[in-house]
């Protein structure tokens, strides 16, 4: 069975949980608590799984994979149905652009280790750190909202009416935005897609509150 090293509130791990559920793949969830005892991801045992000391990591037999989108691409290639990428090169590029706008432009600036550096090294207080996170989500969502609103291919999901890799990224980022109480009124397309996807069972089972390590 596939083994997913995960943390319930990690948006990167959340992406992979959605993809696994959409593919109908069984997996063993192995929690890695990112805060307890200084962070279990820093243990020597976990460093053997992921040298970067981040979640998620996916173990498939002897194969160990890291980076959420690399894992999703691996699942797409090894279990192609149902597809998380559309058929044509143009459409695939469009979906990947949406996914990467979240995974590369928004998420790294709000990652736990970045926020900890702001706190411990730069002595920035919690209110300012929260404002930092909200700012970069707002900037990123502004671009994504326009991309989705202007694309004729946007349906009930980011591309058409079936979830893709882009939805695997968007829904966890909206969850984080809601957790941080970001104003989201100016992103109606994003919120429409979020509300639709959260009615689907694979997304519900992947949600942070449904995980075995949820707090």
Average pLDDT over every residue of 67-72 = 98
Average pLDDT over every residue of 57-75 = 98
Interhelix angle 112-120/126-150, nearest 10 degrees: 150
pLDDT at residue 115 in the model: 93
pLDDT tens readout for residues 38-47 = 999 999 999 9
pLDDT at residue 96 in the model: 98
CB-based contact 14:172 (threshold 8 Å)? yes
Average pLDDT over every residue of 45-59 = 97
pLDDT at residue 68 in the model: 98
- Look at residue 15 and give its three-state secondary structure: helix
pLDDT tens readout for residues 85-107 = 999 999 999 999 999 999 999 99
Q: Which residue has the tokens 């990428």?
A: 85
pLDDT at residue 92 in the model: 98
Provide the pairing of β-strand 2-6 with 57-60. Answer: antiparallel
Distances (CA, A) of 41 to 106, 121, 162: 22, 20, 34
For residues 175-200, one letter each, b for 16 or more C-beta atoms within 10 angstroms of the residue's C-beta and e for the rest, the string is bbbeeeebebeebebbbebbebbeeb
Cis, bond preceding 82 (omega within 30 deg of 0) = yes
Distance of alpha carbon 200 from alpha carbon 31, whole angstroms: 24
Distance of alpha carbon 125 from alpha carbon 116, whole angstroms: 10
Mean pLDDT of the chain: 97
pLDDT tens readout for residues 117-148 = 999 999 999 999 999 999 999 999 999 999 99
pLDDT at residue 107 in the model: 94
Q: What does the block give as tokens for 73?
A: 């691409």
Q: How many residues does the chain have?
A: 215
pLDDT tens readout for residues 165-213 = 999 999 999 999 999 999 999 999 999 999 999 999 999 999 999 999 9
């Amino acid at each position: 069975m596939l083994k997913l090293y995960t943390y319930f509130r990690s948006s990167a791990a959340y992406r992979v949980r959605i993809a696994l559920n959409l593919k109908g793949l069984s997996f063993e969830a192995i929690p890695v608590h990112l805060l307890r005892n200084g962070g279990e991801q820093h243990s020597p045992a976990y460093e053997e799984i992921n040298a970067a000391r981040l979640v998620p990591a996916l173990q498939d037999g002897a194969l160990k994979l890291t980076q959420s989108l690399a894992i999703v691409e691996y699942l797409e290639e090894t279990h192609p149905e149902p597809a998380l990428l559309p058929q044509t090169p143009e459409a695939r590029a469009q979906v990947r652009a949406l996914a990467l706008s979240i995974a590369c432009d928004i998420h790294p600036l709000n990652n736990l280790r970045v926020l900890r550096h702001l706190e411990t090294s730069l002595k920035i207080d919690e209110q300012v750190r929260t404002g930092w996170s909200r700012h970069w989500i707002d900037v990123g969502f502004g671009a994504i909202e326009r991309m989705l609103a202007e694309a004729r291919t946007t349906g009930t999901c980011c591309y058409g009416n079936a979830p893709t890799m882009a939805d695997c990224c968007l829904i966890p980022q909206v969850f984080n935005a809601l957790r941080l109480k970001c104003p989201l009124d100016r992103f109606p397309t994003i919120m429409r897609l979020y509300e639709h996807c959260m009615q689907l069972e694979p997304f519900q089972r992947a949600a942070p509150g449904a995980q075995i390590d949820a707090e």
